[in-house]
A and B are shown apart, each in its own frame.
Chain A
């Protein structure tokens, strides 16, 4: 089946630093990728929709300058959390879609900001 990877799986950083998370579709081309964040024992909140070669569409309340998304190729999207603060600590999950019917989710990245 289709595989989506995320790297890193866990990251701990100091407050004020930037962290980049990669999302890759390993065996298919993804015209659309999605980024979600999930707080403990809560649901996934869609942050942004990313289409290859164009600017990401951010959900209401998500700061685009804070969460930079780059979808440079059909198999790679990156999320950069800039000037991270402890409140940015969360589980970040990406998904990739080869078509409008299907999404394949990555295993998630746990970010801890000290």
Chain B
């Protein structure tokens, strides 16, 4: 079964607004990653946050991780139409091995 579950499933905002997506997972993790996927295309890695980190920034992206609640959030500030895509969180699961389990994803639509 999928490890991560995204919330909301779909989000529509105006250009310039901030977009917040949440992800919950079920088991202990070593790290959590966020990816972006444009329709019908491959994945682009956005950011990795380790289990001992609480917050990480990269450009207009801000990721938080709360291991006590088994949740993470991705904030995109000052959104642009080009940010329209699906966003997935992914964790390394609880197998002790190295594999990535993806959540259901949030489809973000930024209106110009």
Contact = CB atoms under 8 A, between A and B. Distances in A.
A67 interface: no
Contacts of A101: 31, 48
Given A43-B88, A43-B105, A108 B42 contact: yes
Interface of B: 2, 31, 35, 40-45, 48, 88, 97-105, 107
B95 to A, nearest CB: 10
Contacts of A36: 102
Interface in A63-89: none
A103 B48 CA distance: 11
Contacts of A46: 99-102
27 contacts: A36-B102, A42-B105, A43-B2, A43-B88, A43-B103, A43-B105, A45-B2, A45-B102, A46-B99, A46-B101, A49-B97, A49-B99, A93-B42, A95-B43, A97-B98, A100-B98, A101-B48, A102-B45, A103-B45, A103-B100, A105-B42, A105-B43, A105-B44, A107-B41, A107-B42, A108-B41, A110-B40
A101 B105 CA distance: 21
A32 B98 contact: yes
Which of the listed residues B31, B42, B48, B88 has the most CB atoms from chain A within 10 Å of its own CB?
B42
Contact of B45 (A6, A105, A106): A105
